[in-house]
Amino acid sequence: MKLPLRKKIWFAVGLMILLGLVLLAHPFFHLTKTWWNDRNELAPVPAGKANDASRLDETTIAETWTNSGDFAAGEKQLAELLQRARANHLKVSIAGARHSMGGHTIYPGGIVVDMGGFNQMSLRAGNILHVGAGARWRDILIFLNTNGLSVEVMQSNDDFSVGGSISVNCHGWQFNRPPIDSTVESLRLMRADGSIVTCSRMKNTELFSLVLGGYGLFGIILDVDLRVVPNERYTLETLPVASSNYVSLLASRTADNRNVGMVYGRLRMTATNFLSDALLNIYSRKTPPTNFLVSSLKTNSPWFKRVIFRSGVGSDYGKWLRWEAESLVDAKIIKPLFGRENSRNEILFEPADWFLEHGSNRTDILIECFVPPPQFENFLMDLRKIIPANRADLLNLTVRHVNADTNSFLHYADRDMVALVMLFNHPRDAAGEMCMSNVTREIVAVALKNQGRYYLPYRLHVPPEEFRAAYPQAKRFFELKRKYDPDELFQNEFYLKYGK
Ligand SMILES: Cc1cc2nc3c(=O)[nH]c(=O)nc-3n(C[C@H](O)[C@H](O)[C@H](O)COP(=O)(O)OP(=O)(O)OC[C@H]3O[C@@H](n4cnc5c(N)ncnc54)[C@H](O)[C@@H]3O)c2cc1C
């Protein structure tokens, strides 16, 4: 029987709609299920306890001290607090935004100094920001943005405090830059006896190098003079590349390009081609330059971005969906249609909370390793075996570049390094911890084999011998800790595990 043309068209349209619905049904249901189950179950830390971003470190403490007065009065009270702690044989740990994950801000039974109240900021001499150690990057970006300025080196998110960032010696996506210590001109430090000293490359130089990346063991950073840079406008280029060619592609794209401002890579998480494909993202300065740009600041993290990201938890399909959303829909359709331009401040103005676990039964944990660029692919080859063998749920792996660090005593970048930042999700129970412990130890062992190191603010799963192999300067670092703080007033879980 022959159908009339009108019916044939209706039939074809109906078939296409049906096909479209069938194709969309799976992602629609998967994402709706993720969105439905994604409830915020984060409970406040009970009174008398301290915890950190891992939500695995709840510990009983003596008290939490916060500055409730003006800054000068706060300093006086802080000195009195240290005196009281010494008199009562209590240890003192220091907390910024508490995004470290191994009890670095906690000492059992001790006093936690919460630096949040020291958050004043002002500009000095044009490109120097004078800032309280408790200030968060988010507030700093808002302040700098109105002056056409931006942060020179910080993490890829804006939740962290200046004191916490300097004490772990953070790094970010800023291209061709050492860690944050290179941007610190000077800092004021309250020592265990309550005295205040200024440390810089000219004054108290040894103490300066120890405090940069010093994990709160040498004193309390009160405020800092930080070099800042002009806010600028960048154009983003996203290049798909086999991860084995990632380092060489980046080198060729950036060799003669003085306009590269920020760079990061993202690897494919799906079981097929696991960590074999990458997206290389290069932000280049617009020419002519847009120095001292005063732009509007809005967070670039819509709710559906979170849903797509979280849909990868425990689901290879969700990880595939995210990879396709980023490599195809975002890079090839949305960005070309809606623009690839952002100011530097807009890129940095993004909280980590948009992607982190909010459920009470699971947690997101980071591991980060640094390897010399020629070892990148060898290291990945090891990761491709270790992570699936441990059934660890890797949600994200970004790649950054850190230049050699000549400022910090306990440096992780003794030469130019590629940083691999891995975000895992696991249940908040003993089995989850055991899995992460095993996977961390295996990953760190192969980082060391590949002439690399690992980053210290995360879970303390690495045994002391391997810590010392990764950081041969650690023995002297802890001897100097006891020289500058003979009563060992400043302590935390990190010191308890590795300090002796
Ligand atoms: C989701 C997420 C993303 C991250 N991304 C990055 C990244 O892109 N790059 C990167 O380098 N790191 C990254 N990190 C790690 C992060 O930089 C560190 O955890 C950093 O310490 C966070 O700052 P904070 O204010 O939370 O520090 P806290 O966790 O509060 O403190 C960290 C350490 O600093 C000490 N400290 C804090 N304030 C002071 C002070 N005023 N004086 C002396 N000591 C002090 C503490 O005692 C502690 O030892 C990330 C962490 C998370 C959870």
Residues 391-411 have pLDDT tens digits of 999 999 999 999 999 999 999
| 410-433 mean pLDDT | 97
Residue 184's φ and ψ, nearest 5 degrees, are -90, 120
Give the C-alpha separation, 284 to 281, whole Å. Answer: 10
Please count the CA atoms within 13 angstroms of the CA of 448 that sit on its side-chain side.
15
Residue 123 burial by Cβ neighbours in a 10 Å radius (0-12, 13-18, 19+)? middle
DSSP class of 479: H
Residue with the two structure tokens 């980060």: 368
| 336-364 mean pLDDT | 91
Asked whether the predicted pLDDT for residue 302 surpasses 90, the reply is no
pLDDT confidence tier of residue 87, bands split at 50, 70 and 90: very high
SS3 of the chain: helix, strand, coil, percent, to 5: 40, 25, 40
Name the CATH architecture for the domain at 239-289+302-456.
3-Layer(aba) Sandwich (3.40)
Average pLDDT value over all residues in the chain: 95
Ligand 1 touching residue 172 (CB < 6 A):
yes
Asked whether the predicted pLDDT for residue 288 surpasses 90, the reply is no
Q: Are 262 and 283 within 8 A, CB to CB?
A: yes
Show me where the domains of the chain are located: 239-289+302-456
In this structure, the residue with its CA closest to atom 21 of ligand 1 is 164
Q: Are 405 and 169 within 8 A, CB to CB?
A: yes
State the CB neighbour count (10 A cutoff) for residue 42. 13
3-class DSSP assignment, residue 51: coil
Asked whether the predicted pLDDT for residue 414 surpasses 70, the reply is yes
Give the C-alpha separation, 373 to 248, whole Å. Answer: 9
Tell me the CA–centroid distance for residue 186 and ligand 1, in Å. Answer: 19
Single-letter code of the amino acid located at 375: Q
> What pLDDT score was predicted for residue 86?
97
Ligand 1 touching residue 216 (CB < 6 A):
yes
Task: Kindly state the tokens that stand for 341.
Answer: 């331009």
* Strand-pair category, 63-66 with 111-114: parallel
Q: Are 52 and 99 within 8 A, CB to CB?
A: yes
Single-letter code of the amino acid located at 212: L
Candidates 168, 266, 355, 399: which one to mutate for ligand 1, based on the most atoms within 8 Å of Cβ?
Answer: 168
List pLDDT tens digits, range 23-81.
Answer: 888 999 999 999 999 999 999 999 999 999 999 999 999 999 999 878 999 999 999 99
Tell me the CA–centroid distance for residue 192 and ligand 1, in Å. Answer: 21
Q: Which of 337, 331, 348, 157 has the alpha carbon at shortest distance from 237? A: 331
Asked whether the predicted pLDDT for residue 1 surpasses 70, the reply is no
Single-letter code of the amino acid located at 321: L
Give the C-alpha separation, 396 to 420, whole Å. Answer: 10
Please give the helix or strand (H or E) that residue 7 lies within, else none: helix 5-37
Nearest atom within ligand 1 for CA of residue 171: 11
Asked whether the predicted pLDDT for residue 12 surpasses 90, the reply is no
3-class DSSP assignment, residue 379: helix
Ligand 1 touching residue 55 (CB < 6 A):
no
Task: Kindly state the tokens that stand for 193.
Answer: 């006896």
Residue 176 — left, alpha, or beta (φ > 0 → left; ψ -120 to 50 → alpha)? left
Q: Are 358 and 40 within 8 A, CB to CB?
A: yes
Residue with the two structure tokens 């309280």: 132
Candidates 161, 199, 218: which one to mutate for ligand 1, based on the most atoms within 8 Å of Cβ?
Answer: 161
| 211-240 mean pLDDT | 96
Give the C-alpha separation, 328 to 333, whole Å. Answer: 7
Give the C-alpha separation, 162 to 59, whole Å. Answer: 24
> What pLDDT score was predicted for residue 469?
97
List pLDDT tens digits, range 165-185.
Answer: 999 999 999 999 999 999 999
In this structure, the residue with its CA closest to atom 9 of ligand 1 is 155
State the CB neighbour count (10 A cutoff) for residue 63. 14
* Strand-pair category, 49-50 with 59-60: antiparallel
List pLDDT tens digits, range 101-142.
Answer: 999 999 999 999 999 999 999 999 889 999 999 999 999 999
Residue 158's φ and ψ, nearest 5 degrees, are -115, 15
| 160-165 mean pLDDT | 98
Nearest atom within ligand 1 for CA of residue 133: 41
What proportion of the chain, given as a percentage, has pLDDT over 70? 99
Give the C-alpha separation, 423 to 394, whole Å. Answer: 6
Q: Which residue has the higher pLDDT, 441 or 20?
A: 441
What proportion of the chain, given as a percentage, has pLDDT over 90? 86
